[in-house]
């Protein structure tokens, strides 16, 4: 696999033609904040018939993932340097995402930093607007207050239906 060009919300068209980026028109899966990319690799193996996009703002994580993609033959994975808010509002067309994965977002514990949390009404509304009608949102956190805050926010979102029998699960399905 040839090296993949570096992608950024500063250089991609708004909205982005993801079929052109990937060369295929497969369903789109988004991971917000992919860290070092282990879950992107998992998605690559589990969803080989999908185009997987990881967004991240940390340059160290981006460089590591950009190197791993061709080395590991992850033909259906691309990473983009951008914030979640920019990506959701500008890079993705409405109802274009089959799945959105958010794994262990920074909880921003201090109250004065609460505005930096990913799980907020505006961001959640943007996620919902980009999900296809049968799309899925997956959120994982190991911080109980963040789980409680997120569960309340998700419960208040009429366009979403929790498929779990409880507000959240305690085990990975």
- 15: preceding bond cis by omega (within 30 degrees): yes
* 49 assigned to active site: no
Sign of CA dihedral 19, 74, 80, 163: positive
Q: How far apart are CA 35 and CA 148, in angstroms?
A: 23
Helix (H) / strand (E) containing 8: strand 7-8
CA 43, 40, 167, 157 torsion-angle sign: negative
Structure tokens at 144: 């109980």
In terms of Cα–Cα distance, which of 49, 75, 65 is closest to 7? 65
Question: Annotated catalytic residue: which of 17, 25, 106, 122?
Answer: 106
Cα(102)–Cα(139) distance, rounded to whole angstroms? 5
Which of the residues are catalytic? Answer: 106
């Amino acid at each position: 696999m040839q090296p993949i060009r570096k992608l950024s919300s500063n250089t991609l068209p708004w909205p982005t033609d993801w079929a052109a980026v990937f060369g295929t028109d497969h369903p789109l899966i988004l991971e917000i904040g992919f860290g070092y990319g282990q879950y992107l690799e998992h998605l690559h193996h589990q969803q080989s018939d999908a185009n997987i996009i990881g967004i991240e703002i940390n340059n160290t994580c981006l460089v590591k993932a950009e190197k791993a993609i061709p080395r590991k033959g992850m033909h259906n994975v691309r990473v983009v340097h951008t914030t979640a808010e920019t990506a959701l509002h500008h890079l993705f067309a409405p109802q274009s995402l089959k799945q959105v994965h958010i794994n262990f977002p920074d909880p921003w514990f201090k109250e004065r930093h609460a505005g930096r949390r990913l799980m907020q009404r505006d961001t959640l509304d943007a996620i919902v607007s980009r999900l296809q009608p049968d799309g899925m949102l997956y959120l994982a956190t190991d911080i109980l207050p963040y789980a409680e805050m997120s569960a309340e926010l998700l419960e208040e979102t009429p366009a979403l239906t929790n498929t779990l029998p409880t507000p959240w699960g305690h085990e990975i399905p």
